[in-house]
């Protein structure tokens, strides 16, 4: 494979992911609400880490970007050369139109790749403009169901360098997104928006989310739920992550769980519904014994860092990684080469890595390798 010219279009969605820790299940149209609830921007930090790693191995790559928080600010902190080709509005209220216009100008520069930091909404905006020009996402959204995202900022940096060196090609994948209003109401409806191309290497790019549905799947969820209701009688407070498997546990207890959110159950009663990170940290001040039950995302394998950002590194550190319980149906688990964690905190991710026990049925469990998506690779 021939080495490419090296031109990269780079853009950040500054508000991406802000809704996650405060339980909003998305940020589109809710950035002000998220900020009012105490949410902090996280996209810039994740983009910065990726750029730092790229700069250590490929200083000569020319970047084209948008002004201010949409890319210029983080590139200024790196040793990479760059040119601002789009000036965003000065009121710092960025919109999808800013993203789209910046990408149109990237095309005029004949870039080889568009590197962006955001979530599915940002991916949709870019794909709608650039057609089949390769694009790669640094994951920063609340929900990332599309197949254009690296598993972590570190993985994104490795993919960029390898792609620009001509060591790998781009493959076709899907851009999908959810209806956020339905998502916040507890209903998951995904829609295919575009076909895109993204630099690909096994284990570095996440797969498109998959939903499993069959009679056997439902039977194993029932078994897992029955077993969980037995060990949950120990008096501990249990934080239940998002998903249908954890929802079945609440259902067997006679409780209505927030399907796409985080709830807390103690002694068969709902202690906190649709909890934010702030709610969980406050609860930890009062509860002596707390455990977490999580289920991996289908096809992707993430147990932390996607969809349940309320269960943050700070929450994990307080509870202790030994109090993390993973549940999964055997079919879903068999299709995952590994489980992944991406809390944004290297120490926490490293502590969670290794072979972990996964509950797969009534008093049934399997061991599965858990990897830290955020561990440095370059």
The CA distance from 108 to 265, in Å, is 54
Question: Residue 260 has what pLDDT?
Answer: 81
Is the pLDDT at 345 greater than 70? The verdict is yes
Strand partners, 356: 368
Stretch 306-334: mean pLDDT: 93
**Residue 349, SS3 per DSSP:** helix
Is the pLDDT at 91 greater than 60? The verdict is no
Question: Residue 186 has what pLDDT?
Answer: 55
Is the pLDDT at 224 greater than 60? The verdict is yes
pLDDT tens-digit profile of 4-44? Answer: 667 999 999 988 766 554 445 545 555 555 455 555 668 89
| Higher per-residue pLDDT: 41 or 286 | 286
* pTM for this model (two decimals): 0.79
Candidates 219, 245, 361, 366; CA nearest to 308 is 245
Stretch 114-122: mean pLDDT: 93
Long-range contacts of 279-286, Cβ-Cβ distance < 8 Å, separation of 24 or more:
279/23, 279/310, 280/239, 280/310, 280/311, 280/312, 280/315, 281/314, 281/315, 281/318, 283/237, 284/315, 284/318, 284/319
Is the pLDDT at 2 greater than 90? The verdict is no
Query: Tokens in use for 30?
Result: 């809710």
Query: Tokens in use for 265?
Result: 């159950």
Backbone angles phi, psi at 360, to 5 degrees: -120, -5
Burial class (CB in 10 A: 0-12, 13-18, 19+), 3: exposed
* Of the listed ranges 47-51, 144-148, 312-316, the one predicted with least confidence: 144-148
356 touches 367 (CB < 8 A): yes
Is the pLDDT at 330 greater than 90? The verdict is yes
Question: Residue 84 has what pLDDT?
Answer: 97
Question: Residue 28 has what pLDDT?
Answer: 55
| Higher per-residue pLDDT: 55 or 36 | 55
Proportion of the chain above pLDDT 90, given as a percent: 66
Q: Describe the strand order of the beta sheet including 113-118 as a list of residue ranges.
A: 81-86, 62-66, 8-12, 113-118, 135-139
Compute the C-alpha angle 317/49/166, nearest 5°: 130
Question: Residue 155 has what pLDDT?
Answer: 94
160 touches 189 (CB < 8 A): no
Question: Residue 23 has what pLDDT?
Answer: 47
Question: Residue 114 has what pLDDT?
Answer: 98
Q: Which residues contact 120 (CB under 8 A, 6 or more apart)?
A: 141, 143, 144, 145, 146, 175, 176, 177, 178
Question: Residue 56 has what pLDDT?
Answer: 85
Question: Residue 202 has what pLDDT?
Answer: 84
The CA distance from 212 to 214, in Å, is 7
pLDDT tens-digit profile of 234-263? Answer: 999 999 999 889 999 999 999 999 878 899
Is the pLDDT at 310 greater than 60? The verdict is yes
Is the pLDDT at 212 greater than 90? The verdict is no
Within 109-214, residue ranges assigned H as helices are 120-130, 153-164, 180-184
138 touches 155 (CB < 8 A): no
Average model confidence (pLDDT) across the chain: 87
Question: Residue 297 has what pLDDT?
Answer: 87
């Amino acid at each position: 494979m021939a080495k490419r010219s090296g031109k990269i279009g780079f853009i950040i969605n500054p508000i991406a992911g802000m809704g996650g820790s405060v339980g909003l299940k998305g940020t589109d149209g809710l950035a002000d609400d998220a900020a009012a609830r105490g949410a902090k921007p996280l996209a810039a930090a994740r983009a910065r880490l990726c750029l730092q790693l790229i700069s250590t191995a490929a200083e000569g790559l020319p970047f084209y970007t948008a002004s201010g928080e949409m890319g210029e600010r983080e590139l200024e902190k790196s040793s990479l050369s760059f040119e601002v080709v789009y000036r965003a509005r000065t009121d710092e209220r960025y919109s999808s139109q800013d993203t789209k216009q910046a990408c149109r100008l990237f095309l005029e520069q004949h870039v080889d790749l568009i590197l962006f930091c955001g979530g599915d909404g940002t991916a949709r905006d870019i794909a709608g403009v650039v057609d089949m020009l390769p694009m790669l996402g640094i994951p920063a959204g609340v929900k990332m169901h599309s197949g254009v995202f690296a598993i972590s900022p570190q993985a994104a940096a490795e993919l960029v360098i390898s792609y620009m060196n001509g060591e790998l090609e781009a493959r076709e994948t899907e851009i999908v997104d959810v209806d956020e209003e339905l998502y916040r109401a507890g209903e998951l409806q995904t829609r295919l928006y575009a076909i895109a191309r993204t630099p690909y290497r096994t284990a570095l790019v996440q797969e498109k989310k998959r939903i499993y549905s069959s009679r056997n799947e439902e039977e194993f969820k029932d078994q897992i739920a029955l077993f969980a209701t037995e060990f949950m009688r120990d008096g501990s407070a249990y934080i239940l992550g998002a998903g249908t498997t954890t929802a079945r546990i609440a259902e067997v207890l006679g409780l209505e769980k927030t399907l796409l959110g985080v709830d807390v159950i103690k002694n068969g009663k709902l202690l906190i519904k649709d909890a934010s990170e702030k709610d969980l940290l406050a609860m930890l001040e009062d509860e002596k014994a707390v455990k977490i039950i999580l289920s991996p995302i289908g096809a992707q394998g993430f147990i932390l860092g996607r969809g349940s950002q309320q269960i943050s590194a700070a929450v994990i550190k307080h509870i202790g990684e030994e109090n993390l319980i993973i549940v999964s149906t055997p079919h879903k688990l068999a299709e995952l080469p590994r489980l992944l964690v991406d809390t944004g905190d290297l120490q926490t991710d490293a502590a969670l890595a290794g072979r972990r026990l996964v509950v797969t049925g009534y008093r049934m469990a399997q061991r599965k390798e858990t990897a830290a998506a955020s561990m440095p690779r370059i």
